[in-house]
Amino acid sequence: MQKKPAKPAKTPVHGPKHSNQVRIIGGAWKRTPLPVLEALGLRPTPDRVRETVFNWINHLRDGYWADAQVLDLFAGSGALGFEAASRGAQCVTMVDSHGPVVRQLEVIKDKLKADNVQLLRGDALAVAQGAAARGQRYDLVFLDPPYQQDFLSRTLPLCAKLMKEGGLVYAESGLSLIMEEGVETPDWLAPWDIIRADKAGMVYYHLLKLKPGAA
């Protein structure tokens, strides 16, 4: 009997399929699972990456979160924002443009009784512009946007106007932000120092701080 030809392997459009849940790594809600919706482009930061990133941040903040003002501009699963809230951040503002995603975040917020979390449905760029115009400033901003749409080049210049002195930006992307030797740093990245960076699988993740006088 003639064998059927093997079907070609499918090429993933949005990277590897994610688990349908992640978990909070530390703080008051440690080990709490967070469900992940099958939303377009939703790709939660893996647990082991968040553990590394929050170890970095915890070290730089000397473990002190009580006065932290946090902005999560592409909240998605809420893994980053709820992690900061779990560790005692004073206020975490989580933004997402997708209605079902925001409704899921509201369910989680109610379950956790997360009074230090504020949820906004809206466009990340518009929210950042509005916050900057109101003079709002943050200690920590999370940027984990869909990789394909070049959001970092548009959001990082806005973040320069949103940072408190010494504030940190976490930026995740499909490409490294560290330029190879001989490659000129793009204007949107030039005001930032990359103080920590690593890679896990297809994920490049970075911790940034504004250069002195760059705000």
47 closest CA partner among 26, 29, 68, 22: 22
Where are the extended beta strands (E) located within 109-183? 117-121, 138-143, 163-173
Name the class of domain 21-210. Answer: alpha beta
**Domain boundaries, given as residue ranges, for the chain:** 21-210
Q: What is the pLDDT along the chain (215 residues), one digit of tens a residue?
A: 444 444 433 333 333 444 578 899 999 999 999 988 775 556 678 889 999 999 999 999 999 999 999 999 999 999 999 999 999 999 999 999 999 999 999 999 999 999 999 999 999 999 999 999 999 999 999 999 987 678 999 999 999 999 999 999 999 999 999 999 889 999 999 999 999 999 999 889 999 999 987 76
Chain centre distance of CA 142: 4
Angle at which helix 152-159 crosses helix 124-133, to 10 degrees, equals 10
- pLDDT at 19 (0 to 100): 56
- pTM score, two decimals? 0.88
b/e 198-210 (16+ beta carbons within 10 angstroms → b): eeeeebbbbbbbb
